[in-house]
Amino acid sequence: MSPAPLVMLPRRRFLAGAAALGGLALGAPAIVRAQGSRPRIYMMLFRGWEDACDGFRDYLISRGLDVEMTIGNADREAGAVPGLVAAAKALRPDLVYIWGTNTAALALGPWDAPDPTPYLTDIPAVFNIVTEPVGNRIIPSLEHPGRNATGTLYVVPIDIQLRTIASYKPFKRLGIIYNPLERNSILTVDALKTELAKLGGELIESPVPIADGEPVAAGLSELVKRLKDDGADWLYIPPDTFLQQHRNLLTNSALQAGLPAFTSTEPYIRDSNALFGLVCRYYNIGQFTGRKAEQILREGAKPSELPVETLNRFSLLVNMRAANKLKLYPPMNMLRYAEAV
Amino acid sequence: MSGRNAKPDLRRRNVGAGFSRSLVTRLVTLSVVLMIAATAFISERSLNAVAREVQPEFNREASVVGGAIAGQIARALELGIPLDQLVGMDEFLDPVLAARSSFDYLILSDPAGRPLYARGTQIDRFRRAVADRAILFSAPEAALSADDGERAAQVTQFAGLFNTAIPISADGRVQAWLHIGVDASSLARLVSDTRWDVAIVLMVSLLTTIELMAFLVDRSLSTPLRLIEQLSAKVATGDWAVRVEVATHDETGRLLRGFNAIIRRVNDHWDRLSWKAAEVERANPRAAGRLRRIREAIGRHATFRSGRGTLERPAHSAAIARTPLFIYIFAEQLSTSFMPLYARQLYKPLWGVDQNLLIGLPITVFMAGIAFATPFGASLVRRHGPRRVFLMGALPAFLGYLMVAFADSLPALIFWRAITAVGYSMITISSQGYLAAIARQQQRTQSMAVFVSAVMTGTACGTAVGAVMADRLGYAATFLVAASLVLIAAGFVWVYMEEPKGDAAAGPVRAEAPPRGSLIQAMLNPRFAALILFAAIPAKIVLTGFIFYLAPLYLTSLALPQPAIGRTIMSYALVMIMTIGLSARLSDKLGWASQQIVWAGLVTGLGTVAILFLDPASAVLVAIMVYGLCQGLAAAPMLAIVPEICPEESRRLGAATLFGYLRLGERIGSMAGPFIAAGLIATVGYADAILSLGAISTVPAIIYAIIQRTARRPVAEAAS
């Protein structure tokens, strides 16, 4: 335990600006005092510094773990990730923190890749805000990652999501809009089908149209309207990078169509107009990921043996603007533990 | 054996013991009266305090719970949910009502008092009261925040209800009211429950005090006084060759020691006188003749001791067996009011047997254990004496309660109840043996009365206290208390009881093995068979089936608290304590034995009909009290009538053998009771099962009456 003062990191806003300005691999704004013995963490980000990173940092601070952080931001460009990998390899930190499914898939590669050279292999890594790490071939199993990387899950188990939707308003048909080009969206659709079959519900699939190999955002409101006409009781929004970029359009269209929207990711409710969701807070997930980092850095645990886990406490967020617009209010019992935004 | 022969002898004894008897009676009566008066006064005062304190507490609960609910509704309103569009209010309010039995309704009304959401029973009364302006709720002057509702609660009493109105404010104004109705009768019920609890505690402490006082008075007062009486009687006749045994160190002990000292001094003086006279004789032969005559004259009226003299010892006292027996029965009966409930708690599906049958097994097996162990207990008492057998029996009894407390399955409970039954039979048979041994032959009936009264007092007190204990401490702790009471009873016997000596050591009625086929012979007498089949067995079926098995289950299903169940069940014993004495007098003096048995059976059954007229809990209480009344009246006649209805068999087999068969029949009834009740509950439900059990008493009573009537003549002819 080092008596050195805690690492003081600039706040998120400053970082976001800095990231926008500098693009790749910001040169360690976090370093307060260079110290040879302090563990170094390379923060490989996709959308700049946000809540999960705060949770991660705050956890390490609260545990008295004095670390030196270097930030690399892909700034929403998948093409930038290999550059970050190269930067990390050059820096040789004690741990790489990876944010997001795409980032993790590109930086770590498939666990059984025939040629692992382009990927991070010998530096320990923790990932978070990752959907379906097994389905996305990042690790072979949640219990035994088997490679030099572990992390956390942030999506609430599908069966719990469905039960929560039903307790807000019972449903028969669930409509889903997704980007068919994203692997984790396909995996979510499959999982939904399985769970709905158990409950006797029905899934109406509505993939986003593809033009020139790219999903088209323009037709989103049309898709929502069609789902409503097809008898969908709810719009289910999967964790999907493309939709995330167009979440305002998507959720506003749903409001206009009178279709309540459920999601398992926080920004749709907090920053857009999805009606409600059962989410893991990014901040809490970041803290939990910090715990994994602590186990690796301080307790000498091997990432390959640390299971990839989810939190078992979730937050129920209700967007009251949307509820008022839809005239669809949460039941009193749900309101007791819901957070209204 | 009959009570009539015992009386003259008894009266003679009573004359001798009259002084101490009446002193003791007066002493005990005075203390009891004082105790009752003091406790009743204090109880009444504290009950009033309870009633005063509890009412605001009830309403405070309403405003605290209501404040929390109102806060949540206020939050919903502040989030912009319109008052008339709150979702899921039923699911929101129902658990609150379910969790608090004192709440009658929860109503969310608009500012004018119109209910928007209402759950509960007396909602119409609320509406009417609002229309009549009988409920006051006015918007507080100052603006409230969402969490201030609790402080602004307004309580109104109307038509047997307390209405607590809590304002719900959002956006700075009162938008709605939450009304909570508290049933005033639930308050009354709480006070009356407390009153009953206090009465039970009062009664138990009274009976326990009497039991213990009887022992103390016997040991430090009656016995020493009796000894002094014996001593003075002997000295009065000139017998100075005596001394008394001193067992205590208190005032009476010192008094006895003083008596011994006086007698020793007189003897010493006589010795010195005799020695001096011998000296004078040697010196003056002329005086010798005269001295001899004087000595002879004194010797005609008085004897002096040569050695230590004969020792006057206190007769064995019944109190010495009665007290530990009372303590033990108290311990055993602690679990009576919840045994089937404890069994149900441990129940897991087993062998595909019906649950109702399985949870009756602990009672049945216990009764069976007693039936099997009692003959062995009796032979042990004959071989080793009552004191040793009591102590031996304390071991299985102690182990039984201890292990039952830790039982984790129904089979374990059943097994350890069987072990307890062995202890139970050894302890009861040895107490009976001791009492019989110290009583003279003619007083056997009396010693039986001591036994029965200790058992019934212990039953009443134990059952009531056990229920309260189980309610406060839990089942396991109650069994642990029972286990420690066994140790206390055993310690008592260890310290105070001596094996009866000499003739008395014969022990309980010596039952030589009856000749083969004697049971068949006895049962061939229709009147004896009728006594067993249609009186003894039905009485016990009702006891174990209805009182021990059905009543706890049924009363629990009626949501009666455990202490109330306990006092309901113990009421039979309480009534029996009062009627058993009366029973013997009626059958002795008036010769009503046979009618008493018939009427007992008939009326026991009729008591159960109360279930058709009264609320179920009161009906069970009435039926149980009627049972105690009737069976108390039938207890003595059942024994007394045996020599009368089978004089021939009594002569040939001995009355004791016939009594044995009677007991056997009773035990069979006890074993069958829970099974029959379980079967009835499963097929016709509780209420009809109670009626059917009543019929099991009434119908046989009629058959019994007919058989006694028709079979009397031939027997009478045979006898003449």
- pLDDT tens-digit profile of A100-140? 988 999 999 999 888 888 999 989 999 999 988 988 899 99
Contact A329 B89 (CB under 8 A): no
Contact A324 B80 (CB under 8 A): yes
| The residue to which tokens 């990711």 are assigned | A265
Q: Which are the contacts of B74, defined by CB distance < 8 A and separation ≥ 6?
A: B146, B147, B149, B168, B169, B170
Residue A166 with chain B: CB contacts under 8 Å? none
Mutate to test the interface with A, among B73, B79, B96 (most CBs of A within 10 A): B79
Q: Is the pLDDT of residue B719 over 60?
A: no
Distances in whole angstroms, Cα of residue B616 to Cα of each of A321, B436, B559, B687, B690:
55, 43, 11, 8, 10
Residue B83 Cα, gap to closest chain A Cα (Å)? 11
Amino acid residing at B395: L
Quote the crossing angle between the two packed helices B3-78 and B89-99, to the nearest 10°: 150
pLDDT band (50, 70, 90) for residue B415: very high
Contact A329 B81 (CB under 8 A): yes
Contact A332 B89 (CB under 8 A): yes
Residue B337 Cα, gap to closest chain A Cα (Å)? 40
Chains A and B: how many Cβ contacts under 8 Å? 36
Task: Identify the closest residue of chain B to A339 by CA–CA distance.
Answer: B79
User: Both tokens of residue A162?
Assistant: 């469905």
- The contact set of B with A (CB < 8 A) is 72-73, 75-76, 79-81, 85-89, 91-92
**Which residue stretches of chain A are H helix?**
12-22, 51-62, 81-91, 101-108, 158-168, 183-199, 220-229, 241-245, 247-257, 266-270, 282-297, 320-326, 332-337
Model pLDDT for residues B56-88, shown as the tens digit of each residue: 777 788 888 888 898 889 999 988 899 888 988
Contact A329 B85 (CB under 8 A): yes
CATH number of A158-279+315-340: 3.40.50.2300
Contact B91 A332 (CB under 8 A): yes
Least confident of B365-374, B385-394, B464-473, B638-647: B638-647
Instruction: Supply the DSSP symbol for B87.
Output: B
Task: Identify the closest residue of chain A to B81 by CA–CA distance.
Answer: A329
Q: Are strands A202-207 and A210-211 parallel, antiparallel or unpaired?
A: unpaired
Count the neighbouring beta carbons within 10 Å of the beta carbon of residue A51: 18
Residue B88 with chain A: CB contacts under 8 Å? 331-334
Contact A331 B73 (CB under 8 A): no
Which residue would you say has higher pLDDT here, A252 or B523?
A252
Contact A335 B72 (CB under 8 A): yes
Residue B92 with chain A: CB contacts under 8 Å? 331-333
Report how many helices (DSSP H) and strands (DSSP E) chain A contains, helices first. 13, 15
Q: What is the pLDDT of residue A120?
A: 92
Residue A276 with chain B: CB contacts under 8 Å? none
Residue A339 Cα, gap to closest chain B Cα (Å)? 11
Residue B90 with chain A: CB contacts under 8 Å? none
Q: Determine the Cα–Cα distance for residues A100 and A244; give it in Å rounded to an integer.
A: 12
Residue A322 with chain B: CB contacts under 8 Å? none
Model pLDDT for residues B199-226, shown as the tens digit of each residue: 777 877 888 888 778 788 877 787 788 8
Least confident of B151-160, B162-171, B655-664: B151-160
Residue B96 near residue B65 (C-beta atoms within 8 A): yes
DSSP codes, B253-289: HHHHHHHHHHHHHHHHHHHHHHHHHHHHHHH-HHHHH
Q: What is the pLDDT of residue A2?
A: 37
- Give the containing element (helix H, strand E) for B368: helix B355-384
Contact B88 A333 (CB under 8 A): yes
Residue B107 near residue B178 (C-beta atoms within 8 A): yes
Q: Give the residue from B10, B29, B21 showing the smallest Cα distance to B222.
A: B21
Mutate to test the interface with A, among B83, B84, B87, B178 (most CBs of A within 10 A): B87
Least confident of A261-265, B47-51, B478-482: B47-51
Q: What is the pLDDT of residue B506?
A: 46
A50 alpha carbon, distance to own chain's centre: 11
Query: Which of A320, A331, A336 lies nearest to residue B80, judging by beta carbons?
Result: A320
Contact A331 B80 (CB under 8 A): no
Residue A268 Cα, gap to closest chain B Cα (Å)? 19
Q: Is the pLDDT of residue B513 over 80?
A: no
Read off the pLDDT of each residue in B181-205 and give the average, rounded to a whole number. Answer: 77
Residue A335 with chain B: CB contacts under 8 Å? 72, 75-76, 79
Read off the pLDDT of each residue in B26-30 and give the average, rounded to a whole number. Answer: 78
Average pLDDT, chain B: 81
Q: Determine the Cα–Cα distance for residues A84 and A336; give it in Å rounded to an integer.
A: 44
Mutate to test the interface with B, among A168, A316, A324, A332 (most CBs of B within 10 A): A332
Domain(s) of CATH 3.40.50.2300: residues in chain A: 12-154+283-310, 158-279+315-340
- Superfamily of structural domain B61-188: YNR034W-A-like (3.40.1840.10)
Reply yes or no on domain A12-154+283-310 having CATH 3.40.50.2300: yes
Contact B72 A332 (CB under 8 A): yes
Residue A332 with chain B: CB contacts under 8 Å? 72-73, 76, 86-89, 91-92
Domain(s) of CATH 1.20.1250.20: residues in chain B: 516-720
| The residue to which tokens 């050695």 are assigned | B307
Contact A332 B76 (CB under 8 A): yes
pLDDT band (50, 70, 90) for residue B508: very low
Residue B96 Cα, gap to closest chain A Cα (Å)? 12
Read off the pLDDT of each residue in B107-113 and give the average, rounded to a whole number. Answer: 88
Angle made by CA atoms B138, B142, B146, in degrees to the nearest 5:
85
Query: Which of A323, A329, A333 lies nearest to residue B92, judging by beta carbons?
Result: A333
Model pLDDT for residues B223-266, shown as the tens digit of each residue: 788 888 888 888 888 888 887 777 777 788 888 888 888 888 88
Residue A14 Cα, gap to closest chain B Cα (Å)? 33
Q: Determine the Cα–Cα distance for residues B55 and B332; give it in Å rounded to an integer.
A: 38
B232-238 contact pairs (CB < 8 A, 24+): B234/B312, B235/B263, B238/B301, B238/B302, B238/B303
Task: Identify the closest residue of chain B to A338 by CA–CA distance.
Answer: B76
Average pLDDT, chain A: 85
Residue A233 Cα, gap to closest chain B Cα (Å)? 17
CATH number of B516-720: 1.20.1250.20
Q: What is the pLDDT of residue A109?
A: 92
Residue B130 Cα, gap to closest chain A Cα (Å)? 26
Residue A336 with chain B: CB contacts under 8 Å? 72
Q: What is the pLDDT of residue B443?
A: 61
Model pLDDT for residues B331-354, shown as the tens digit of each residue: 999 999 999 999 988 887 766 677
Q: What is the pLDDT of residue A89?
A: 93
